[in-house]
Structure 1
Amino acid sequence: MADSVCCDLILKAIFICLLKSAFSYSFRSCTEIPDSNHTIFGCIKRQEPDIITIVHDLPHTATNLTITRCNLSEVKERSFQHLPNLNSLVLDYNHIVKIHKDAFINLSQLQTLNLSCNDLSSLHHVFHDLHNLTELLLGNNKLNTIDPLLFFNLTNLKTLDLRRNYLHNFSVLVQSIMHLSRLTKLDLSYNSLTTLHHSTCLPRSLTSLYLSDNKLYTLGCDKSFLKYVKVLDFSDNTRLSSKAFQDLNLENIKYLRLRFTNVTVKKLLDYTNVSRWHIDFSGLKLKDNRALSKLCFLLQHHHSKEKQISKLILQSNSITFLKNNTLSYCPSVTDVIDLSRNEMKNTGCLQFLNGQNQLKTLKIEHNHLTRLVSCNKTNKFHSLRNLSYRYNRILQVSGFAFNNTPKLTNLELNINIIAYLDHKALSGLKNLITLRLDNNLLTDVYNDSFIDLISLKTLNLRNNKIAVIFNYSFHTLSNLTILDLGGNKITQLKPHAFDGLFSLTNLYLDRNRLKDIDGMLFGRLHTTLKVLDLQANHIQYFTEHTHSPFINLTRLLDLKLDAQEPYGITLLPRAFFRGLKSLKSLYLTNNHISGFGEETFDDLLNLEFLTLDNTGVGIAQLKPGIFKNLRKLKQLFVENMGIKSFSKEVFGNLTGLKVLHLNRNAMLSLDIHLLDSLTNLSYIDLRSCPLSCGCQNSDLQNWTKSNQRLQFPYLYNITCQDHPGSYFHNFDTNVCYLDLGLYLFSSTYAFTVLLTLLPLLYVRLYWKFKYGYYVFRSWFGEQWRRLRDQEEKYNYDAFISYNSADENWVMEQLLPNLESSSFRLCLHHRDFELGRDIVDNIVAAVYGSRKTICVVSQSFLRSEWCSLEIQLASYRLFQEMQDVLLLVFLEPIPERQLSTYHRMRKVMLKKTYLQWPGSKCSDPTSAKELFWSQLKRALRSSNTGSQEEHKEDDQRRERVGVGIEEREYFVNQTPIDDELYYLMP
């Protein structure tokens, strides 16, 4: 057994862990009762087509489940197999027609099953797995027969309710229950049984059998068939006669009810061994004094050792009048005489009770009494403690009406039409503890009406016509604890109305016409008052600066101020609740209060329950800190308050809160961080709130799927107001999970770095980027040119790239020497097309010439356009592998200065360049002749060159015979590379 309990606890712990990591603490069709620890669930008025859909997401820890008023037609197989711990299952008030064979499989722990108020007409083998079932309720169905094996496995069944069906075969029914050795109660009322004929015996354990409202005309059972039954009800079987009971063994009967049958008392007592003390004589046509006298004689002289009976129940006998001493011939009744539901119009001073000196309770309810007369000089019934005249037509109560019952402790005069209560009507009732005068027509309460009721503890005057409570009306009621004045027309409470109420704890003034709260008046009750009900009065205030009427009620625990007429309180004064330091419950619903001050609830340090439903006007903005002192609050109802935001400033201090109703508010989102901080919150109702199905609620959606501490009732029924047809629990949140922070950081970082590098890039790489752009343009133009013209056609032999500072050398030296040798040269100032973009002219010149001659000087290096021209020419050299670039240096340029010109350095490392002879040459004429010869040869060569041309150049150099100085000069200016050829012989 211990191992089983341990295993069960372990499984529960594992399940709760799985819940927290996998499932949402919300259920599609059911709600969990708050603080039930996942055990008690209700599924009410659901529209799902089957039970499996309703209960599929309930946890296996459920012990109590109620599914009621749903549109269900059947209970399918294995509907509850995942709920093995169910102890109670209620399926009443549905439309169930069919239950499948294995519907309740795996419910071996179930003890109570309620299937009443459905449309079941037959059941077969549906309870075979319910071994521990103790209570089975099948009332209000359409069952017309019972399968003999239907209850076979219900060995622990104690209560079986089959009332209000169409059963007619009692023998089959008995056969189905004969083995139920623990069955104690069987209710077959309101069926169609005609006889108790049987083929087997009732279980000996059966003690209560209800057969009222059938069609029994004979019992037809074995004489000992009912031997062990103690409570037997045959009422409302109008055809059943005394003869049916002949020789029937009823020796153990403790209560026998035969109302509205044809059984006579004399024959019953003659035919059976039933004890006379245990018969309910209601509805046996004992309508006159003669019949009652005979009854008393039979009871008095019946063979029994007992001389007293505990109850004499004479309801529904059409008794109209009882003579003096009518019941004096009856055995002494110690407990109750019940004359309710007769036709008595007058009871006098209860003289018919003469001789009943031990009676404690007399009930004369539901009769036709119109007046209670004065009984000042009649016999007194000192034993009588409880007297009830409820549901009569009593209009007047005379003085000293209860002088004959001086020891009464409980008097019920409610639900009559009493308009006049004599000043002395209640005189002498010094032992009375409870007085009910509610639901009458009383208009006045006098200061001597209750003068003798010094022991009274409960006085109920609810629902009368009282308009004013005069001074000292209750001044002698020092022991009164409960005073109910609700439902009257009270407009005024006199200054001393409550004087003398030194023990009053509960005061009910609801549904009256009070316009304000008299702090001085209630203040006199400050030492004892715990409950004050002022609902539905006419209380209103027109200024916020009103002193608290509760300043002295430091012990008050419960205060109700709901629904003030006609429009609510509307304006709540500042510090209205000051002084209520012990208050635990406050009701303010339906008051349309225009606003709450942040100090409104400051004094309510011990408040546990607060309801503000329908209290706001329009969109309510609860001020920050309004609940700051309510750390003990457990339940908060703020439905339909127009609340737009669930903020930490308003709700953040409610650390003790367990239940929060926010239904029908204007909130579009909910702060999950605040929910996390409310560590005791276990239930939050958000139904009918227009929650947005947008990214602001994506975290809330995820939170509801992972949190197991907090229940969201009917979460799966919350629709998206901004996306009709969508549901909050599954709206698409994928777009919300882009890491915007990362993207913003990345973009900001890149932008910052770019802003940092731009100045450096501008200084260092501006022209490289620019050249790159131009190179791309030149390459694209060249490709287009080649596609357009397959054969290479050049307009010039060479394009001369130079700076204007070197224009004299070009015009006086270069141009005459080359053009005299029939070379066609392109010069920008002479041959560029007018009106054309300068870049396009440069590109056309470079690609329209076989060679490009760059005249390099200090000025050339400083020129942007010259740099562009050499860049374009070097692109053809390196990328297109065409020998098109010739460098001519007009002056020596240091190595370090050339190092910043990457393209030119690269050309100098790959190709021979020419140096214009300067003043250092010993023979300038010969050097210049060699210079022009080499330049012309280079212009004549193809783009790829040849070895023969190289050899001719070497021979020409030898014939010229350049001196040692010139040779050394040229050698120092040529690059050191095995693939290069030199200009010197």
Structure 2
Amino acid sequence: MMEQNSPQNNVEHYYFSFLLHRSNKITKEKSQILVSMVIILHFVLFTSGYSFKHCTEDANTNHTKFICIHRKENNMSAIVDDLPSSATIVIILKNWIKNIPKNTFSHLHNLRMLQIDHNTLETIDPQAFQNLSQLKDLNLTSNKLSILSTSVFQGLYNLVNLSLTNNSLQSLPQRIFNALPNLDNLLLNQNNLNNFTVVAESVSQLPKLTKLDLCNNNIMSLQHSDHTALPKSLTILYLCRNKLVTLGCARCFLCNILQLDLSYNDQLPSRAFQDVDLQKLNYIRLRSTNVSVLDLFNVSNVRPESIDFSGMGLKTTQQLMNLCNLLQNKTVALIKMMRLGNNGISTLQNKTLSDCPRIGSLDLSFNQLRTVNCLEFLHGHDQIKNFKAEKNHLSSLQSCKLNISFPNLTYLSYRYNRILNVNGFAFYQTPNLKTLQLNINIIAYLDPKAFRDLTRLVILRLDNNLVTDLYEDSFEDLQSLKILNLRNNRIAVIFRRTFHSLKCLQTLDLGGNKISHFDESAFVGLNNLAMFYLDGNKLKKIDSTMFEPFHATLEVLDLSSNQIHFINTQAYSPFSNLSILRDLKLNSQLPHGIRVLPKSLFHGLSSLQSLYLADNDIFSFSVDTFDHLTNLTFLSLDNSCAGVLQLKPGVFKNLRKLSMLFARNMGIMSFSKEVFGNLTQLQILVLQQNVMPTIDVSVLEALPKLKSLDLREVPLSCTCLNSDLKNWTLNNKSVHLVLLYTYTCQDTPKPKHFYNFETNVCNKDLEEYFFACTTSLILLLTIIPILYDKLYWKLKFSYYVFCSWIGQHFRRLRNKEEQCKYDAFISYSSADEPWIVDQLLPNLEGNGASFRLCLHHRDFELGRNIVDNIVSAIYKSRKTICVVSRHFLRCEWCSLEIQMANYRLFHEQRDVLLLIFLEPIPERHLSAYHRMRKIMLKKTYLQWPGSDCTDPVLAQELFWNKLKRALRSRSSIFEEDEKEGMENYFNQPPADENYTLMP
């Protein structure tokens, strides 16, 4: 019957229909048990836990961002198949993927950004990105793509950014990008492209393309076909590090380009620019080419102010002066940004650049300058605003008390030089500086008057030098300074009043020095300090007095990687006055961590939101340790415990706003409600690398806001103690279990996954089960002999009374049977319908037989559920005839019908099932149908005579006589067994009549 429709989808409906139909025969308790079984079956078959096999979810993105990194997986579908449709960002990084199949991401229709970089991707099937109509960013960087099909990007009509950087592409199909009308940024750098015509044709139909990066390819010219033109929207074109020897394009081919990078094409000559319109260019980079500035001006219409003169061989003073004269001859009024880097310039004489047009910004980085001579070479350019001389050979900054001045200079950078000392008044000629960068030098001596008169300086960077001493007047004139960076120097002591004049300072970075103590009044004057970094020093103790000047303004305090420790748990809190502190870092104290955590350490930190205590060997946490941190939202305790730890009940009791708790490798032994139960706002919980063999699910259920749980490398036992946890990990839909499918059992000899370990034996307590069984058996063996001795005759009398009652019961069943609507329900495969119509119906309903048969195609109620029709037909018929053939065995609906008849046999104790075999079926073919074989072992059955019989007509007549006799027989097993036995259902034929009956 209807073999194309599987009954598996209706399993729940079938059970409930059955219960409803038989509600008058099943007790309420039995119904509840069956319903519970159906519900359990449903969860086992149709639910899965909130985890992903190869990806982790960013818990702060509300199910939208997923990262799949280092998973050692080569099947792209396996990585993304279990990601939800809500995903908008997917990052697949450093895996072994070689191919992206068709429709791999079709279920991720909300995807906005897809990053598949640094894999081993070789091929992408057509329509691999089907259904990603919302995708805007696609990154395929650093793979091994060599060929792309024309339709590979089909459907990505909202794509804005596409990166194919660092692949092995040698060519591109002509219309490969035509399906990307909104593409804005295309990166094809670091490939093996050598035919620019092919590239130009592939992008010519992109109406919104603004940037095309073709750096690091093998392009030799920009030659193109006559009908090919770059999109008018294209304004940025990068062609650096190719093999260009000429441009070779039409005059107006590049006329819309605003930024052009041709650097590191060392064979590109000046004549290549002849007859090419580049008048609209705002920036052109020609570093390390064979282009001469003078020749370029003669053969092209490039505007001088758009040229980046870096790396063009302008080495000597004379060459620079000639450049200035050329620019003057071109009537250039202002050069906003003049770049002269990487020219090998070693000296700049006074007035070297005097003849140049006005300069807004000057960059002399990557040269060989040994001195800047107080910027005398800029004489006449007092309007200059920015000056950079990074990565030169400057060794000293001399005093500059000269008449020359640059009142408009606000940005000055000498980073990455060899400056050893900064003398007094070194910046006297730049009184209005706002940003001064002296970092990454070897400054050992800083004159106390070096920054004299820099009253408008806002940012001062002195980090990564060799400064050892700071004096009271070192920063005396820096009243406007807001950011002071002294990180990674060799400062050992902060003397008194060192920062007394820095009343506007907001950020002070002293990290990475050798500070062991502060003099009294060292921080006087820091009235507005908000961020204070002291990490990586040698502080051993701290007290509240050192923070007194900025106690009302400090928001961030970093004390990590010092040598802070406490002798006893009663120490007074050094942070008691920091009432608005938001971020405190005490992690990684040397050499062995904080060890002892005072009970009152965090008193006064009522506004603290983030606390870092990671990498400290703390012996124990007092139950009162975190009591005052009522506004804490982030707590890091990773690697903070010395050995195995039993957290005390109530240790987190006041952290009701905590949303993130990181507790990796803390040696936590148990996960209890007394410890974690009050964290009602917790969203992210990391318990990786702890030693909890079991986890109480009720504790997890007490954390209503939990979104992410990390239990990796926790030695969870695969025993009944964790059966609830295992079921919870599979069935919960709100908590992301980070890489659940990598969790392994630690108590089994062979590797076993935690998510699917066997829990069938965990339904009952085995100890109680065995006790109940043995107790019942002993009592039974004790009572039976006593009853036999004392109550033998009474029991025998009761037996006969019971038999009499049963007889009456089955007589009532017989009367009810006679009221059935049909004599038999016929269960058969639709493939055997011709035999039913041609043989069965004429012999049972015709020829004077007058049996009433129920057939599905004739007697089922229209519009009613199939399962309901089956149940109704079986219970309205005295018998059920199963017409068995190979088609019948393969039919799932037929299997359901024979099971239903078997259920009726079991429940009513009535023999309602008759089997007819239309063809001989070897026993080995029946081995997979255990229910069928079980029925055959208990009951005889009819075999339809085949054509090989000696007398088919006689054999068929005998067959129909026996079937009619079986249909007329009673269905009560009890009554028939008493009278005749099971052999009276069918009269067994003689041994030589094997063609009609098989035992």
Q: TM-score, normalised by structure 1?
A: 0.74
Judge conservation of contact 2:508–2:532 (CA < 8 Å) in 1.
Answer: yes
Cα gap change, 1:19 to 1:328, in 2 (>3 Å): farther
Question: Counterpart in 2 of 1:85?
Answer: 110
Which amino acid in 2 is paired with 1:249? Answer: D
Deviation at 1:749, TM superposition (A): 12
CA distance in structure 2 between the aligned counterparts of 1:428 and 1:613, rounded to whole angstroms? 48
Larger radius of gyration: 1
1:39 maps to 64
SS of structure 2 residue aligned to 1:35 = helix
- 1:292 is aligned to 320
Aligned partners of 2:324 and 2:357 also within 8 Å? yes
Q: For 1:147, which of 161, 170, 173 is the aligned residue?
A: 173
Report the Cα distance in structure 2 between the residues aligned to 1:772 and 1:747, rounded to whole angstroms. 28
Alignment partner, residue 134 of structure 2: 109
Could you say which residue in structure 1 is the equivalent of 2:273?
A: 245
Q: Is the 8 A contact 1:557 1:584 kept in 2?
A: yes
Partner residue of 1:463 out of 483, 488, 513 = 488
Q: Which residue pairs with 1:128 in the alignment?
A: 154
Deviation per CA, 1:1-39: give whole Å up to 9, x if none.
Answer: xxxxxxxxxxxxxxxx99998331100000111032221
SS in 1 for 2:192: coil
Alpha-carbon offset, residue 754 of structure 1: 9.4
- Amino acid corresponding to residue 267 of structure 1 in structure 2: D
Contact 1:659 / 1:683 at 8 angstroms: preserved in 2?
Answer: yes
Aligned twin of 1:701 = 726
For residues 264-283 of structure 1, the C-alpha deviation after alignment (integer angstroms, 9 at most, x for no partner) is 22222222222221111111
Which residue number in structure 2 is paired with residue 327 of structure 1?
353
Are positions 1:409 and 2:437 aligned together? no
- Kindly provide the amino acid, as one letter, of the partner of residue 285 in structure 1: G
- Residue 641 (structure 1) aligns with: 666
Q: Is the 8 A contact 1:21 1:706 kept in 2?
A: no
Equivalent residue letter for 1:57: D
Displacement after TM superposition at 1:770 (Å)? 8.6
1:262 to 270, 290, 296: 290
1:440 match: secondary structure:
coil
Q: Per-residue deviation at 1:357? A: 1.8
Match of 1:517 in 2: 542
Report if aligned partners of 2:100, 2:125 keep a CA contact under 8 Å in 1. yes
Contact 1:20 1:706 in 2 (8 A): no
In structure 2, how many angstroms separate the alpha carbons of the residues matched to 1:18 and 1:251?
70
| Alpha-carbon distance in structure 1 between the residues aligned to 2:88 and 2:173 | 29
- Aligned match of 2:408: 383
Bigger shift: residues 76-85 or 278-287: 76-85
Matched position secondary structure for 1:326? coil
Which of 220, 233, 236 does residue 248 from structure 2 map onto?
A: 220
Question: Residue 790 of structure 2 aligns with which residue?
Answer: 768
Q: Within the alignment, does 1:499 sit opposite 2:524 as a pair?
A: yes
Q: Could you tell me how far apart the structure 1 residues matched to 2:128 and 2:790 are?
A: 84
Q: 2:706 maps to which residue?
A: 681
**Alpha-carbon distance in structure 2 between the residues aligned to 1:407 and 1:263:** 39
Kindly state the Cα deviation for residue 652 of structure 1 after the two structures are TM-superposed: 0.6
* Correspondence 1:581-730 to 2 at 5 A: 581-723=606-748, 724-730=750-756
Instruction: Measure how far apart 1:673 and its partner are.
Output: 1.4
Contact 1:19 1:708 in 2 (8 A): no
Output one character per residue of 1:901-958: Cα deviation in whole Å (capped at 9) or x when no partner: xxxxxxxxxxxxxxxxxxxxxxxxxxxxxxxxxxxxxxxxxxxxxxxxxxxxxxxxxx
Counterpart AA for 1:662: L
What's the TM-score, normalizing by structure 2?
Answer: 0.73
Per-residue Cα deviation, 1:24-68 (whole angstroms, up to 9, x for no partner): 110000011103222111100011221111111111221111101
Question: Which residue of the partner structure matches residue 557 of structure 1?
Answer: 582
Output the CA distance in 2 between the equivalents of 1:360 and 1:468: 36
**Counterpart-to-counterpart distance in 1, 2:766 and 2:649:** 31
Contact persistence 2:579–2:605 (CA under 8 A) = yes
Residue by residue, what CA displacement relative to the aligned partner does 1:438-471 show, whole Å, maximum 9, x if unpaired?
0000010111100111111110000000000001
- Equivalent residues of 2:344, 2:367 under 8 A apart: yes
Q: Which moved more, 1:665-674 or 1:261-270?
A: 261-270
1:486 offset after TM fit, Å? Answer: 0.4
Equivalent residue letter for 2:521: H
Alignment partner of 1:169 is 2:195: yes
1:20–1:708 Cα contact (<8 Å) kept:
no
Measured on the aligned residues, the alpha-carbon RMSD in Å equals 2.6
Separation of aligned partners in 1, 2:472 and 2:508 = 15
- For 2:568, the equivalent position in structure 1 comes to 543
Q: Across the two proteins, how many residue pairs are aligned to each other?
A: 752
What amino acid is aligned across from residue 535 of structure 1 in structure 2?
Answer: S
Contact kept? 1:488, 1:511, Cα under 8 Å: yes
Given residue 273 of structure 1, which amino acid in structure 2 is its aligned partner? N
1-structure distance, mates of 2:92, 2:464: 37
Q: Distance in 1 between matches of 2:506 and 2:370?
A: 35
Q: Which amino acid letter does the alignment assign opposite residue 113 of structure 2? A: S
Residue from 475, 481, 504 that aligns with 2:506? 481
2:305 & 2:381 partners in 1: Cα distance? Answer: 15
Q: Tell me the distance in 2 between the aligned counterparts of 1:29 and 1:109.
A: 24
Distance 1:422 1:278 in 2: 40
1:206 is matched with which residue? Answer: 234
Matched residues in 1 for 2:118 and 2:654: separation? 45
Quickly say closer, same or farther: Cα 1:142–1:765, change in 2 above 3 A.
Answer: closer
Unaligned 5+ runs, structure 1: 1-16, 776-985
Q: Aligned match of 2:262 in 190, 214, 234?
A: 234
Amino acid paired to 2:473: D
Going from structure 1 to structure 2, the CA distance change for 1:20 and 1:290 (only over 3 Å counts) comes to: farther
Equivalent pair of 2:525/2:549 in contact (CA under 8 Å): no
Note the C-alpha offset of 1:672. 1.4
Q: What corresponds to 2:848 in structure 1? A: none
User: Shift of the alpha carbon at 1:747?
Assistant: 7.2
Question: Once the 2 structures are TM-superposed, how far is the Cα of residue 772 of structure 1 from its aligned partner?
Answer: 10
Deviations 1:417-450 (A, max 9, x none): 0000011111111110100000000010111100
Structure 1 residues 219-228 or 572-581, which shifts more? Answer: 572-581
Gaps of 5+ in 2: 1-41, 798-999
State the SS of the aligned residue for 1:692.
coil
What CA deviation, in whole Å up to 9, does each residue of 1:233-275 have, x standing for no partner?
0011111111000121112111111111111222222222222
Distance 1:478 1:177 in 2: 57
Q: Residues 19, 584 of structure 1: CA spacing in aligned structure 2 closer, same or farther, 3 A cutoff?
A: farther
Contact in 2 for aligned 1:381/1:405 (Cα 8 Å): yes
Q: Cα deviation per residue 1:627-684 (whole Å; 9 max; x = unaligned)?
A: 1110111110000001111111111111111111100000112221111121111001
Answer whether contact 2:99 2:122 (CA < 8 A) is retained.
yes
Name the residue aligned to 2:479.
454
Out of 601, 624, 637, the position equivalent to 1:576 is 601
- Whether the 8 Å CA contact 1:207–1:230 is kept in 2: the answer is yes
**In the superposition, relative to structure 1, how do residues 19 and 499 fare at CA in structure 2: closer, same or farther (>3 Å)?**
farther
2:937 is matched with none
Deviation at 1:766, TM superposition (A): 8.7
Alignment partner of 1:363 is 2:376: no
**How many angstroms apart in 1 are the aligned matches of 2:44 and 2:608?**
38
Secondary structure of 1:226's match?
Answer: coil
Contact 1:523/1:550 (<8 A) preserved: no
1:412 Cα shift? Answer: 0.3
1:748/1:675 CA distance change after superposition, 3 Å? farther
The residue that corresponds to 2:444 in the other structure is: 419
User: Which shows bigger deviation, 627-636 or 264-273?
Assistant: 264-273
In the alignment, what sits opposite 1:52? 77
Give the aligned partner of residue 868 of structure 1. none
| In 2: Cα distance, 1:451 partner to 1:754 partner | 100
CA contact (8 A) 1:250 1:272 kept: yes
Measured in 1, the distance between the counterparts of 2:67 and 2:261 equals 35
Against the structure 1 CA distance between its residues 412 and 18, is the aligned structure 2 distance closer, same or farther, given a 3 Å change threshold?
A: farther
- The amino acid of 2:93's aligned partner reads T
